[in-house]
Amino acid sequence: MSVFSRSSVTAVLGPTNTGKTHLAVERMCGHSSGILGFPLRLLAREVYDRVVAIKGADQVGLITGEEKILPPKARWLLCTAESMPLDRDVAFVGLDEAQLGADPERGHVFTDRLLRARGREETMILGSDSLRPMLRRLVPDAEIIGRPRFSTLSYAGAKKLSRLPRRSAIVAFSAEEVYAVAETLRRLRGGTAVVMGALSPRTRNAQVAMFQAGEVDYLVATDAIGMGLNLDVAHVAFAGLHKFDGRKRRRLTIAEMAQIAGRAGRHQRDGTFGALHAEGPEAFTPEEIDKIEAHQVPRLDFLFWREGMPDLASIDGLIADLERRPAEDGLRAAPQSVDLAVLKRLATDERIRDRARSPQAVRRLWAACSLPDFRKLGVDPHARFVGRIFTALTEGDGHVPHTWFAQEIDRLDNVQGDVETIAGRIAAARSWAYIAHRPDWLADPAHWAERTRAVEERLSDALHARLTQRFVDRRTSMLLRQIGAGAGEIPVEIDADGEVSVDSHVLGTLDGFRFSVAPDARATDKRMLLAAAEKRLGGELARRGAALATADNSTITLHIGADGGPGLIWHGSPVARLDRGPELSRPAITLDRSLDCLGARQREAIRARLSRWVTDEIARHCRALPKLEAILRDPDAPPALRAVAATLAEHGGISPRDPVAEPLGALGQEERKRLRAAGITIGTLDLFDPRLLKPKAALWRTALFAARGDRPGSALPRDGATVLDRGSRGAGTRMGFRMIGGQAVRVDLVERIARDAHDRRKGRQPFAPDPALATSIGLTEPTIAKLMARLGFKGAAPQEGRPRWAWRGRPAPRRGAVRPVGPANAFAALADLEFGNG
């Protein structure tokens, strides 16, 4: 092996952010033609876009393993190192990150390009200063130029994820760790972009664009960002300092740490680096920090090498050449890479050997073995796939069958699934893209290259969408960026449905004074969104509080909830509930907890307004109650009157007559007149205010009983009901119905029947009541019989088929009847039944 040079060779060495790549692009564009080789497909694509902007798309080509854009007149080519066409005569050749010749997996490729790739007029080698001694040894005629870093790189200490500054890149060393860090940042900081070498250029560019545009302030990446990707990063944080290099888990070298940390800072802007751990194996040592800050990376004393032009006469000769040890001092035999491992595995298959008898077939076999294992399946599965490809290339028309290719592409053309699923499809699509860009492997390579490109683009767009959906909460990110702004500086929009949005991002819904976080918010984000809404809705809530404190009567309504609890509604939203007060008609007002956001003075004003509304409504619909309670408070009222008033007040203005028969009998005309002035009808069986039987009054009485805590039997009867079944809700004296046999009859109708019967009777002579009255009310014959008996009548001989009754005399009040004295009485729920049995 000989080291040779056909042109002047310049080596530009230095740390990151020295403008080496920019210089190489300028030098290449100054020549009539050129090739630049890069370590990553992503970086090759990035520079390709820059050169296209300078030279035009028809003059510039891109060649990577799975992507080829090669216009017929292309004079400037951007390539991955593996894809550099060494047989092409060009004026300029450049190799970026040449220190990767020391990489165990791909180092032999970079070493080969360093030794053999030359431009007709100029060759430029770019890399770390660690490469200097090896260049002196291997390319002694090279002119070595050192370039200082444009900005300062300094250690900023260890910081937790929650304390990382904005414009930080967090570097992890596995997809699982990248996803875990990204998920944490989504919760803490609203989101992050994700960059990994396995991403397609389209996905990577979309993710980087989010970061560069400031849509997110953080980026989580693998060590791929160390390979020259240009990002506006101010700080690089290492999630760990160990990585699995394909063979073992090891600590990063100083050179690797410096390469990654050097991504911080851009041109003249200084950068910082640090770790997420202050102590332990994942923390920097003082020695490592000093060397990274001073850009003192250990010098390389060897590079990996493998024969770049092996013997293709036979399989065994090819393997021997690839395993041959280098004779040149400073070079080491490269560890066995995947392509060689696959070749050796296939060499044991006699069917493969039979097909590879000629140099042309061996060349095809070696080309097939060079297909990268994009899916990371391992040697055995990948060897089977390569063997199938080679078999197809050595039978029939010598092409991969288009039916097989089409079936695989159609199977991959599916954008459904999560991040890992779509990323797996992209990896598989890259294998078929690699095949499509081999001009002699398909009958119509241009068609299939376009087909795979379209599929990869769709998958890439889907992957970007999934990454953004999974790791970016634009609403949270926006709020966090504005978290320090004053409430008046950020416009809050509330639409007619109460939807609250800030800067077009929906936070949730404001229903009255209660803010509900948007249903699509994750549980971990709800606290932050509530805090953000509280900060920005203060003015709106105060305005609503002022409106409620002076609310018109028509905007407030009484509502009984599903649990029977009474509450007050303002513009459709709950604002208070009724609780036990000093008297039934004076319930306490307890403001809804949603009003806690208001000041104490404003809450008191609201409570006073609601209290006035309740008082006015009770006086309007339940007039008897305040008047009865006024009798109770009157010290001049006789005891008998106060006793009757107390029972009526306790029962909401409707009570059976039996429990108050004794004090009622002691009342004089003036006392009875006072009861009638309060609206009370002294009936045969019941005392009641007929106005309390109206629907609105019944609603209020139910609410007042519930506020007192006395909910059994307090359900509302249906509007206009005259008779209810015994088992119906609301079928009780408390709600204005008297239980008689199997029916509950409204007390005012019972009194009407009683008055009609007394009007028709003449002494104790038998008489026939008006049948139309009872029928119109809906009473059954058994109920009529029980009611007449309860009214003091006894059955007489029918006349002409019509039942007749005779006066027996008023029955004595029932003794032992249970008198309910409030919700604490265990018999309160039975009172209606006891009073109503007839």
| Number of domains forming the structure of the chain | 6
Environment class of 565 (CB within 10 Å of its CB; exposed 0-12, middle 13-18, buried 19+): middle
- Evaluated on CA atoms 819, 822, 827, 830, the torsion sign reads positive
- Please name every residue paired with 195 in a beta bridge, in sequence order, or none if there are none: 221
CA nearest to 435, candidates 65, 41, 45: 65
- Please name every residue paired with 68 in a beta bridge, in sequence order, or none if there are none: 63
Is 287 found in the same domain as 183?
Answer: yes
Long-range contacts of 276-282 (CB under 8 A, 24+ apart): 276/158, 276/159, 276/160, 276/161, 276/170, 276/237, 276/238, 276/239, 276/240, 277/158, 277/240, 278/157, 278/158, 281/241, 281/242, 281/251, 282/238, 282/239, 282/240, 282/241, 282/242
- Three-state DSSP state, 746: strand
Could you give the CA distance from residue 326 to residue 322 in angstroms, rounded to a whole number? 10
DSSP state of 792: T
Q: CB neighbours (10 Å) of residue 87?
A: 5
The domain boundary, picked from 146, 166, 195, lies at 146
Is 801 found in the same domain as 654?
Answer: yes
The domain boundary, picked from 293, 308, 323, lies at 293
Residue 555 within any structural domain of the chain: yes
The pLDDT, as a whole number, for residue 525 is 57
Q: Kindly indicate the confidence band of residue 835, based on its pLDDT and cuts at 50, 70 and 90.
A: very low
Could you give the CA distance from residue 726 to residue 739 in angstroms, rounded to a whole number? 7
Could you give the CA distance from residue 635 to residue 677 in angstroms, rounded to a whole number? 18
Could you give the CA distance from residue 541 to residue 506 in angstroms, rounded to a whole number? 18
Is 121 found in the same domain as 97?
Answer: yes
Residue 315 within any structural domain of the chain: no
Show the CA angle centred on residue 304, arms to residues 300 and 309, nearest 5°: 140
CA nearest to 565, candidates 707, 698, 695: 707
Q: Which position has the token pair 């305005």?
A: 543
In the chain, the amino acid numbered 527 is R
Could you give the CA distance from residue 112 to residue 305 in angstroms, rounded to a whole number? 7
The pLDDT, as a whole number, for residue 834 is 36
CA nearest to 35, candidates 143, 138, 121, 135: 121
- Picking from 88-102, 390-404, 595-609, 776-790, which range would have the lowest pLDDT averaged per residue? 776-790
CA nearest to 589, candidates 616, 563, 564, 610: 610
- Please name every residue paired with 62 in a beta bridge, in sequence order, or none if there are none: 69, 78
Q: Which position has the token pair 């430029």?
A: 124
Environment class of 803 (CB within 10 Å of its CB; exposed 0-12, middle 13-18, buried 19+): middle
Q: Kindly indicate the confidence band of residue 502, based on its pLDDT and cuts at 50, 70 and 90.
A: low
Could you give the CA distance from residue 623 to residue 691 in angstroms, rounded to a whole number? 8
Q: Kindly indicate the confidence band of residue 572, based on its pLDDT and cuts at 50, 70 and 90.
A: confident
Taking residues 804-814, report their average pLDDT.
78
Is 650 found in the same domain as 501?
Answer: no
Could you give the CA distance from residue 79 to residue 102 in angstroms, rounded to a whole number? 20
pLDDT of 304 > 90? The answer is yes
Q: Beta strands of 661-722 (E only): which ranges?
A: 681-682, 686-688
Q: In the numeric block, which tokens belong to residue 705?
A: 């009983």
Helix axes 669-677, 639-650, angle to 10 degrees: 30
Instruction: List, for residues 540-551, the tens digit of each pLDDT value.
Output: 888 999 999 999
pLDDT of 827 > 80? The answer is no
Residue 321 within any structural domain of the chain: no
CA nearest to 199, candidates 170, 183, 173, 175: 175
Is 629 found in the same domain as 616?
Answer: no
In the chain, the amino acid numbered 31 is H
Q: Kindly indicate the confidence band of residue 497, based on its pLDDT and cuts at 50, 70 and 90.
A: confident
Is 157 found in the same domain as 269?
Answer: yes
Residue 590 within any structural domain of the chain: yes
CA nearest to 170, candidates 193, 204, 144, 147: 193
Sequence-ordered alpha helix ranges (H) in 87-159: 107-116, 132-138
Taking residues 305-311, report their average pLDDT.
94
The pLDDT, as a whole number, for residue 201 is 80
Taking residues 84-95, report their average pLDDT.
95
> Beta strands 505-511 and 499-502: pairing type?
antiparallel
Q: Kindly indicate the confidence band of residue 557, based on its pLDDT and cuts at 50, 70 and 90.
A: very high
pLDDT of 761 > 50? The answer is yes
The pLDDT, as a whole number, for residue 818 is 38
Is 695 found in the same domain as 795?
Answer: yes
pLDDT of 817 > 50? The answer is no
DSSP state of 332: E
Q: Kindly indicate the confidence band of residue 321, based on its pLDDT and cuts at 50, 70 and 90.
A: very high
The pLDDT, as a whole number, for residue 732 is 63
Residues in the chain: 838
Residue 320 within any structural domain of the chain: no
Instruction: List, for residues 211-237, the tens digit of each pLDDT value.
Output: 988 888 899 998 877 776 678 899 999
- Three-state DSSP state, 669: helix
Determine the structural domain holding residue 502 and report its residue range.
483-536
Residue 302 within any structural domain of the chain: no
Burial 266-275 (b: 16+ CB within 10 A, else e): beeeebbbbb
Environment class of 514 (CB within 10 Å of its CB; exposed 0-12, middle 13-18, buried 19+): middle
Tell me the percentage of the chain whose pLDDT exceeds 70: 89
pLDDT of 535 > 90? The answer is no
Residue 808 within any structural domain of the chain: yes
Is 341 found in the same domain as 446?
Answer: yes
> Beta strands 34-38 and 76-80: pairing type?
parallel
The pLDDT, as a whole number, for residue 119 is 96
The pLDDT, as a whole number, for residue 513 is 86
Whether 281 contacts 239, CB under 8 Å: no
Instruction: List, for residues 346-388, the tens digit of each pLDDT value.
Output: 999 999 999 999 999 999 999 999 999 998 888 999 999 999 9
CA distances from 24 to 20, 512, 615 (A): 6, 64, 87
The domain boundary, picked from 621, 644, 676, lies at 621
Is 653 found in the same domain as 612?
Answer: no
**Residues whose CB is less than 8 angstroms from the CB of residue 650 and which lie 6 or more positions away in sequence, other chains included:** 584, 820, 821, 822
Is 641 found in the same domain as 762?
Answer: yes
Is 638 found in the same domain as 787?
Answer: yes
Residue 815 within any structural domain of the chain: yes
The pLDDT, as a whole number, for residue 514 is 85
Burial 532-554 (b: 16+ CB within 10 A, else e): bbebbbeebbeebbeebbebeee
Whether 333 contacts 325, CB under 8 Å: yes
Is 678 found in the same domain as 825?
Answer: yes
Q: CB neighbours (10 Å) of residue 491?
A: 9
Q: Kindly indicate the confidence band of residue 485, based on its pLDDT and cuts at 50, 70 and 90.
A: very low
Instruction: List, for residues 717-741, the tens digit of each pLDDT value.
Output: 777 788 887 666 555 667 788 888 8
Could you give the CA distance from residue 79 to residue 128 in angstroms, rounded to a whole number? 20
